[in-house]
Amino acid sequence: MKHREQRAKRGYTVFSPLLFAVCPLLLMLVVAQQTPADAPIDPFAPTATLERKGKTITAIKTSPDDKGLAQIEERDLIVGKLDKLEAKQLVVSGKTVLINDTTQVESGLKVGQGITVEYIKDENKPDQTPTARQVYAGERKGTVLQRFVYNDPAPYRVNVRFGKDARAYGALALVEKIKDGSETVSLDGGSAQYFEKEDRLEIKPQAAPKAVEVIQGKSTVFGSRLDYNNDTGEAVISGPNEISRTGEKPLKGQSKMMVYSVDDETLKMFGDIKLEQNGRTTTATSALVREKDGVAYLFGSEAQPVVSTDKNGTAKGIRLRYNLDTGDVVVEQPAGSEFNDQ
Protein backbone atom coordinates (compact mmCIF):
# COMPACT_ATOMS: atom_id res chain seq x y z
CA MET A 1 0.00 0.00 0.00
CA LYS A 2 1.37 3.36 -0.96
CA HIS A 3 1.47 5.72 1.98
CA ARG A 4 3.14 8.90 3.18
CA GLU A 5 5.62 7.71 5.80
CA GLN A 6 8.85 8.85 4.18
CA ARG A 7 12.58 8.30 4.48
CA ALA A 8 15.32 9.74 2.28
CA LYS A 9 19.06 9.84 1.66
CA ARG A 10 21.55 12.50 2.73
CA GLY A 11 20.76 15.91 1.34
CA TYR A 12 17.03 15.54 1.98
CA THR A 13 15.10 16.33 5.13
CA VAL A 14 14.91 12.73 6.37
CA PHE A 15 17.61 10.14 7.06
CA SER A 16 17.37 6.35 7.33
CA PRO A 17 16.61 5.46 10.99
CA LEU A 18 18.42 3.15 13.41
CA LEU A 19 16.61 1.55 16.35
CA PHE A 20 17.14 3.58 19.50
CA ALA A 21 15.67 3.85 22.98
CA VAL A 22 16.61 5.84 26.07
CA CYS A 23 15.38 5.06 29.56
CA PRO A 24 14.75 7.90 32.05
CA LEU A 25 17.49 6.68 34.42
CA LEU A 26 20.12 6.70 31.68
CA LEU A 27 18.93 10.15 30.63
CA MET A 28 19.59 11.54 34.10
CA LEU A 29 23.03 9.89 34.30
CA VAL A 30 24.32 11.34 31.03
CA VAL A 31 23.15 14.95 31.41
CA ALA A 32 26.64 16.07 32.39
CA GLN A 33 28.20 14.23 29.41
CA GLN A 34 25.98 15.60 26.66
CA THR A 35 27.17 17.48 23.61
CA PRO A 36 28.02 21.09 24.54
CA ALA A 37 25.34 23.64 23.67
CA ASP A 38 27.73 25.52 21.40
CA ALA A 39 28.84 22.44 19.43
CA PRO A 40 28.87 23.06 15.64
CA ILE A 41 25.87 21.87 13.62
CA ASP A 42 26.23 19.85 10.41
CA PRO A 43 24.82 22.09 7.63
CA PHE A 44 23.27 18.97 6.06
CA ALA A 45 21.59 17.82 9.28
CA PRO A 46 17.86 17.02 9.10
CA THR A 47 15.87 20.14 9.99
CA ALA A 48 12.27 21.28 10.33
CA THR A 49 11.29 24.94 10.52
CA LEU A 50 8.36 27.13 11.53
CA GLU A 51 8.03 30.88 10.96
CA ARG A 52 6.50 33.43 13.32
CA LYS A 53 6.61 37.21 12.93
CA GLY A 54 9.97 37.26 11.20
CA LYS A 55 11.56 34.71 13.52
CA THR A 56 12.45 31.13 12.59
CA ILE A 57 11.92 28.21 14.94
CA THR A 58 14.20 25.36 13.85
CA ALA A 59 14.53 21.77 15.08
CA ILE A 60 17.81 20.05 14.14
CA LYS A 61 18.91 16.44 14.53
CA THR A 62 22.59 16.55 15.57
CA SER A 63 23.73 12.92 15.73
CA PRO A 64 25.53 11.21 12.78
CA ASP A 65 23.52 9.59 10.00
CA ASP A 66 23.93 6.09 11.46
CA LYS A 67 22.66 7.06 14.90
CA GLY A 68 19.29 8.14 16.19
CA LEU A 69 16.29 8.63 13.94
CA ALA A 70 14.90 11.25 11.58
CA GLN A 71 11.64 10.66 9.76
CA ILE A 72 8.59 12.40 8.35
CA GLU A 73 5.07 11.11 8.76
CA GLU A 74 2.03 12.35 6.89
CA ARG A 75 -1.32 11.38 8.32
CA ASP A 76 -4.91 12.13 7.44
CA LEU A 77 -7.11 13.12 10.38
CA ILE A 78 -10.62 12.27 11.46
CA VAL A 79 -11.81 14.54 14.25
CA GLY A 80 -15.03 14.41 16.23
CA LYS A 81 -16.94 12.80 19.10
CA LEU A 82 -16.34 9.16 20.01
CA ASP A 83 -19.60 7.27 19.35
CA LYS A 84 -18.37 3.73 19.97
CA LEU A 85 -15.13 2.00 21.01
CA GLU A 86 -14.68 -1.74 20.52
CA ALA A 87 -11.72 -4.12 20.35
CA LYS A 88 -11.34 -3.96 16.56
CA GLN A 89 -13.06 -0.73 15.58
CA LEU A 90 -14.34 2.61 16.74
CA VAL A 91 -16.91 5.06 15.45
CA VAL A 92 -16.17 8.79 15.51
CA SER A 93 -18.92 11.22 14.47
CA GLY A 94 -20.62 8.44 12.50
CA LYS A 95 -17.45 7.27 10.70
CA THR A 96 -16.17 3.73 11.28
CA VAL A 97 -12.43 3.29 11.77
CA LEU A 98 -10.65 -0.06 12.13
CA ILE A 99 -8.19 -0.85 14.94
CA ASN A 100 -5.44 -3.49 14.83
CA ASP A 101 -2.53 -4.62 17.01
CA THR A 102 -0.30 -1.78 15.81
CA THR A 103 -2.81 1.02 16.51
CA GLN A 104 -1.76 3.26 19.39
CA VAL A 105 -4.93 4.07 21.35
CA GLU A 106 -4.75 6.43 24.31
CA SER A 107 -6.08 4.76 27.43
CA GLY A 108 -9.14 6.10 29.20
CA LEU A 109 -11.08 7.31 26.15
CA LYS A 110 -14.82 7.55 26.78
CA VAL A 111 -17.89 7.64 24.54
CA GLY A 112 -18.93 11.24 23.89
CA GLN A 113 -15.39 12.53 24.27
CA GLY A 114 -13.75 14.57 21.52
CA ILE A 115 -10.93 12.63 19.84
CA THR A 116 -8.51 12.70 16.91
CA VAL A 117 -7.80 9.69 14.71
CA GLU A 118 -4.63 9.56 12.62
CA TYR A 119 -4.58 7.22 9.62
CA ILE A 120 -2.89 6.81 6.25
CA LYS A 121 -5.22 7.11 3.29
CA ASP A 122 -4.83 4.52 0.54
CA GLU A 123 -4.99 6.66 -2.61
CA ASN A 124 -5.84 3.56 -4.68
CA LYS A 125 -8.78 2.66 -2.44
CA PRO A 126 -10.29 5.96 -1.27
CA ASP A 127 -13.57 4.32 -0.20
CA GLN A 128 -11.90 1.68 1.97
CA THR A 129 -12.60 1.81 5.70
CA PRO A 130 -9.49 3.42 7.22
CA THR A 131 -7.27 1.72 9.78
CA ALA A 132 -6.17 3.98 12.61
CA ARG A 133 -2.46 4.46 13.33
CA GLN A 134 -3.07 6.56 16.43
CA VAL A 135 -6.13 7.61 18.48
CA TYR A 136 -6.02 10.18 21.27
CA ALA A 137 -8.14 12.67 23.20
CA GLY A 138 -8.77 16.17 21.89
CA GLU A 139 -10.21 17.51 18.66
CA ARG A 140 -7.39 18.91 16.54
CA LYS A 141 -8.22 21.47 13.89
CA GLY A 142 -7.29 20.49 10.33
CA THR A 143 -7.38 17.52 7.96
CA VAL A 144 -3.78 16.51 7.19
CA LEU A 145 -0.90 16.25 9.66
CA GLN A 146 2.79 16.40 8.77
CA ARG A 147 5.05 15.28 11.63
CA PHE A 148 8.85 15.56 11.71
CA VAL A 149 10.35 13.08 14.20
CA TYR A 150 13.92 13.62 15.42
CA ASN A 151 15.53 11.40 18.06
CA ASP A 152 19.16 11.75 19.18
CA PRO A 153 20.96 9.26 21.46
CA ALA A 154 23.27 10.56 24.19
CA PRO A 155 25.63 12.31 24.11
CA TYR A 156 23.83 14.01 21.18
CA ARG A 157 20.70 16.10 21.60
CA VAL A 158 18.10 17.53 19.25
CA ASN A 159 18.62 21.29 19.01
CA VAL A 160 15.56 23.58 18.84
CA ARG A 161 16.31 27.24 18.11
CA PHE A 162 13.79 29.98 18.85
CA GLY A 163 14.98 32.75 16.57
CA LYS A 164 18.46 33.94 17.58
CA ASP A 165 17.67 34.43 21.26
CA ALA A 166 17.06 31.03 22.84
CA ARG A 167 18.00 27.39 22.27
CA ALA A 168 16.50 24.21 23.68
CA TYR A 169 17.90 20.68 23.83
CA GLY A 170 16.37 17.24 24.36
CA ALA A 171 16.37 13.65 23.13
CA LEU A 172 13.07 13.59 21.19
CA ALA A 173 11.55 16.42 19.13
CA LEU A 174 8.24 16.32 17.28
CA VAL A 175 7.47 19.16 14.89
CA GLU A 176 3.86 19.02 13.73
CA LYS A 177 2.20 21.02 10.98
CA ILE A 178 -1.51 20.58 10.36
CA LYS A 179 -3.03 21.87 7.14
CA ASP A 180 -5.44 24.68 8.04
CA GLY A 181 -4.54 24.06 11.68
CA SER A 182 -1.83 24.48 14.27
CA GLU A 183 1.96 24.25 14.18
CA THR A 184 3.70 22.88 17.28
CA VAL A 185 7.03 21.63 18.61
CA SER A 186 7.42 19.23 21.53
CA LEU A 187 10.72 18.29 23.13
CA ASP A 188 11.40 15.75 25.89
CA GLY A 189 13.54 12.78 26.91
CA GLY A 190 11.63 10.16 24.92
CA SER A 191 12.54 7.85 22.05
CA ALA A 192 11.36 6.76 18.61
CA GLN A 193 11.75 3.44 16.85
CA TYR A 194 11.03 2.29 13.30
CA PHE A 195 9.83 -1.27 12.65
CA GLU A 196 10.79 -2.17 9.09
CA LYS A 197 8.64 -5.29 8.72
CA GLU A 198 5.51 -3.50 9.86
CA ASP A 199 6.46 -0.21 8.17
CA ARG A 200 5.55 1.43 11.46
CA LEU A 201 7.07 4.23 13.52
CA GLU A 202 6.62 4.01 17.27
CA ILE A 203 7.02 7.24 19.23
CA LYS A 204 7.40 7.18 23.00
CA PRO A 205 7.44 10.65 24.58
CA GLN A 206 8.98 10.71 28.05
CA ALA A 207 8.95 13.62 30.47
CA ALA A 208 11.72 13.31 33.07
CA PRO A 209 13.65 15.66 35.37
CA LYS A 210 16.20 17.68 33.39
CA ALA A 211 15.10 16.05 30.12
CA VAL A 212 15.01 19.50 28.50
CA GLU A 213 17.59 22.29 28.71
CA VAL A 214 16.87 25.86 27.55
CA ILE A 215 19.59 28.51 27.24
CA GLN A 216 18.99 32.25 26.88
CA GLY A 217 21.88 34.65 27.42
CA LYS A 218 23.47 33.96 30.82
CA SER A 219 20.50 31.88 31.99
CA THR A 220 20.02 28.12 31.74
CA VAL A 221 16.73 26.41 32.53
CA PHE A 222 15.97 22.72 33.01
CA GLY A 223 12.54 21.13 32.75
CA SER A 224 10.86 17.79 32.11
CA ARG A 225 9.28 18.70 28.77
CA LEU A 226 8.82 21.63 26.36
CA ASP A 227 5.69 22.34 24.31
CA TYR A 228 5.72 25.21 21.80
CA ASN A 229 2.61 26.52 20.02
CA ASN A 230 3.28 28.69 16.97
CA ASP A 231 -0.18 30.28 17.25
CA THR A 232 0.73 31.89 20.57
CA GLY A 233 4.52 32.04 20.21
CA GLU A 234 4.89 30.51 23.67
CA ALA A 235 6.92 27.50 24.80
CA VAL A 236 5.72 25.87 28.02
CA ILE A 237 8.57 24.28 29.99
CA SER A 238 7.02 21.78 32.38
CA GLY A 239 8.53 21.34 35.82
CA PRO A 240 10.06 20.70 38.11
CA ASN A 241 12.19 23.58 36.83
CA GLU A 242 15.68 24.65 37.78
CA ILE A 243 17.25 27.92 36.67
CA SER A 244 20.84 29.10 36.95
CA ARG A 245 22.58 32.25 35.77
CA THR A 246 26.31 32.84 35.41
CA GLY A 247 28.13 35.99 36.51
CA GLU A 248 30.14 37.47 39.37
CA LYS A 249 27.20 36.71 41.63
CA PRO A 250 25.71 33.46 40.27
CA LEU A 251 22.00 32.85 40.69
CA LYS A 252 20.11 29.60 41.13
CA GLY A 253 16.42 28.99 41.51
CA GLN A 254 13.39 26.79 40.97
CA SER A 255 9.73 26.84 40.00
CA LYS A 256 6.91 24.50 39.00
CA MET A 257 6.45 25.76 35.42
CA MET A 258 7.97 28.25 32.99
CA VAL A 259 6.81 29.84 29.74
CA TYR A 260 9.20 31.34 27.20
CA SER A 261 7.79 33.96 24.80
CA VAL A 262 9.36 34.05 21.34
CA ASP A 263 7.80 37.43 20.55
CA ASP A 264 9.19 39.48 23.45
CA GLU A 265 12.01 37.09 24.45
CA THR A 266 10.94 36.86 28.09
CA LEU A 267 10.59 33.99 30.54
CA LYS A 268 7.64 33.66 32.91
CA MET A 269 7.92 31.54 36.06
CA PHE A 270 5.00 30.06 38.01
CA GLY A 271 4.52 28.22 41.28
CA ASP A 272 6.69 28.04 44.42
CA ILE A 273 9.42 30.26 42.99
CA LYS A 274 12.65 30.41 44.95
CA LEU A 275 15.76 32.37 43.96
CA GLU A 276 19.11 32.29 45.77
CA GLN A 277 21.93 34.72 45.04
CA ASN A 278 24.79 36.29 47.00
CA GLY A 279 23.31 35.45 50.39
CA ARG A 280 19.79 36.52 49.43
CA THR A 281 16.78 34.18 49.28
CA THR A 282 13.62 35.33 47.50
CA THR A 283 10.28 33.55 47.17
CA ALA A 284 7.29 34.44 44.97
CA THR A 285 4.24 32.95 43.27
CA SER A 286 5.13 34.20 39.77
CA ALA A 287 7.85 36.12 37.97
CA LEU A 288 8.72 37.75 34.65
CA VAL A 289 12.39 37.46 33.66
CA ARG A 290 13.83 39.89 31.10
CA GLU A 291 17.21 38.30 30.49
CA LYS A 292 18.43 40.93 28.01
CA ASP A 293 17.72 43.71 30.52
CA GLY A 294 19.23 41.77 33.41
CA VAL A 295 16.08 42.19 35.49
CA ALA A 296 13.17 40.15 36.81
CA TYR A 297 9.81 41.21 38.23
CA LEU A 298 8.49 39.02 41.03
CA PHE A 299 4.81 38.92 41.97
CA GLY A 300 2.77 37.89 44.98
CA SER A 301 -0.41 38.97 46.77
CA GLU A 302 -1.46 40.49 50.08
CA ALA A 303 -2.03 36.99 51.42
CA GLN A 304 1.16 35.58 49.93
CA PRO A 305 3.59 38.42 49.18
CA VAL A 306 7.01 38.22 47.60
CA VAL A 307 9.56 37.77 50.40
CA SER A 308 13.24 38.60 49.94
CA THR A 309 15.71 38.11 52.79
CA ASP A 310 19.43 38.71 53.25
CA LYS A 311 21.71 39.74 56.14
CA ASN A 312 20.25 43.27 56.08
CA GLY A 313 16.66 42.18 56.66
CA THR A 314 13.49 41.20 54.85
CA ALA A 315 11.56 42.95 52.10
CA LYS A 316 7.95 42.10 51.33
CA GLY A 317 5.77 43.27 48.49
CA ILE A 318 3.17 42.43 45.92
CA ARG A 319 5.69 43.35 43.23
CA LEU A 320 9.49 43.44 43.47
CA ARG A 321 12.09 44.36 40.86
CA TYR A 322 15.09 42.03 41.01
CA ASN A 323 18.54 42.78 39.55
CA LEU A 324 19.78 39.52 38.05
CA ASP A 325 23.43 40.60 38.08
CA THR A 326 23.67 41.80 41.69
CA GLY A 327 20.70 40.25 43.50
CA ASP A 328 19.50 43.68 44.68
CA VAL A 329 15.74 44.19 45.00
CA VAL A 330 13.39 47.16 44.92
CA VAL A 331 9.86 46.95 46.32
CA GLU A 332 7.64 48.51 43.66
CA GLN A 333 4.33 47.69 45.35
CA PRO A 334 4.63 47.21 49.12
CA ALA A 335 2.78 44.73 51.27
CA GLY A 336 4.51 45.69 54.52
CA SER A 337 8.30 45.86 54.82
CA GLU A 338 10.96 45.25 57.44
CA PHE A 339 13.79 45.89 55.03
CA ASN A 340 16.92 47.74 56.12
CA ASP A 341 18.82 49.95 53.68
CA GLN A 342 21.08 48.02 51.27
| pLDDT tens for each residue of 315-337 | 999 999 999 999 999 999 887 54
Q: Which residue, 115, 144, 173, sits at the end of a domain? A: 144
Look at residues 169, 188, 175, 262 and name the one whose alpha carbon lies nearest to residue 226.
188
CATH of the domain at 77: 2.40.50.320
Tell me the CATH number at 314.
2.60.450.10
The predicted pLDDT at position 183 comes to: 97
Query: With contact defined as beta carbons under 8 Å apart, do 163 and 262 qualify?
Result: yes
Inside any domain, residue 180: no
pTM of the model: 0.84
138 and 237 both lie in a single domain? no
* Whether 272 contacts 254, CB under 8 Å: yes
Considering its fold, how many domains does the chain have in total? 2
Between the alpha carbon of residue 262 and those of residues 61, 131, 270, the distances in Å are 21, 38, 18
Q: Answer whether residue 204 is part of any domain.
A: no
Please indicate, yes or no, whether residues 137 and 236 belong to a single structural domain of this protein: no
Tell whether 301 is covered by a domain.
yes
| Residue (of 213, 105, 193) closest to 151 by Cα position | 193
Domain extent at residue 289: 232-339
pLDDT of residue 35: 60
CB 195 within 8 A of CB 17: no
Task: Check residues 211 and 127 and name the one with the higher pLDDT.
Answer: 211
Within-domain flag for 57? no
b/e 125-159 (16+ beta carbons within 10 angstroms → b): eeeeebbbbbbeeeebeeeebbbbbbbbbbebbbb
Look at residue 302 and tell me if it is in a domain. yes
* Assigned domain for 67 exists: no
Q: Please indicate, yes or no, if residue 63 is contained in any of the structural domains.
A: no
Domain termination residue (choose one: 84, 109, 144): 144
Q: Does 318 fall in a domain?
A: yes
Q: How many CB atoms lie within 10 A of CB 42?
A: 14
Work out the percent of the chain whose per-residue pLDDT is above 90: 77
